[in-house]
Amino acid sequence: MSASSLTRGEVALTLVNSYTGVVIRSPHVGILVDPVDIDTDKISNIDAILITHEHIRHLDESVVADIQSNSGCVVIADSASFGRLSAVIPSNKLKEAHVKDEFQLEEASVVAEKSSHPAAEPLTYIITSEDGVSVFHSSDSAPFNEMADIGRRYQIDICLCSIGLDSGLSPKSGAMIARLMRPKVAVPYHGEKTKEFASALSKIAPHVKSRILRKGETLKYP
């Protein structure tokens, strides 16, 4: 879905791989997170790439470099990924992110937060559109108590919840992320047991709506 098809107050979210790769678009900004195992020729109109951490399912330096070269976008990355990307991304287009750092993209914003995951300095991100629609990208974090504070602070509309593939992650832990964050909509990713996630969510966070997306599918919000 292109930005031109969105109106004020709308956001479109498209899963681009089976991990945490996602495109988030508002009427004026396009953001790509963790581009791995994707066809770069199908990616266009990107203003920023966000990298959550250095693991192979989240960082592919050649893919990031290809997209950045084609789009001229800025790349925002955790410290470990920043070090790897510094050899392939122009220095004026590469920004190192730490917990609590904030970046402006036109009228939209990106804030880095902590991630509970065994990587060097992993991050989660809050992306807020120019119209105030907020998306929490949980990378492949397990739930942690501070998520409740993040949810209250940013009034999250859409929460991407990791539900598997790594030790300690499950449909239930993904539902716990939604319970802590209290978004309006929770979208499972980074795992295949999406129906089990929806079932767990209905039991422990019935106030949160679930929306299951397949790779390539788009959620238009609201």
Give the pLDDT score at 4. Answer: 59
Give the pLDDT score at 2. Answer: 61
Q: How many CB atoms lie within 10 A of CB 39?
A: 8
For the chain, the domains span 3-213
Half-sphere exposure of residue 200: CA atoms within 13 angstroms, side-chain side = 20
Give the pLDDT score at 20. Answer: 98
Q: What span, in angstroms and rounded, lies between the C-alpha atoms of 175 and 195?
A: 11
Q: Looking at the domain covering 3-213, what would its CATH class be?
A: alpha beta
Q: What span, in angstroms and rounded, lies between the C-alpha atoms of 77 and 119?
A: 13
Instruction: Return the amino acid letter for 29.
Output: V
Give the pLDDT score at 219. Answer: 97
Give the pLDDT score at 106. Answer: 87
Give the pLDDT score at 167. Answer: 86
138-159 burial, b at 16+ Cβ within 10 Å, e below that, comes to bbbbbbbeebeebbeebebbbb
Is the overall model pTM greater than 0.75, yes or no? yes
Instruction: Return the amino acid letter for 142.
Output: A
* Long-range pairs of 176-180 with CB within 8 A, sequence gap ≥ 24: 176/143, 176/204, 177/138, 177/141, 177/143, 177/147, 178/205, 178/208, 178/210, 179/143, 179/204, 179/205, 179/208, 180/143, 180/144, 180/145, 180/147, 180/148, 180/151
10-residue averages of pLDDT along the chain (222 residues): 80 97 97 97 95 98 98 98 98 98 95 97 98 97 97 98 94 98 98 97 97 96 96
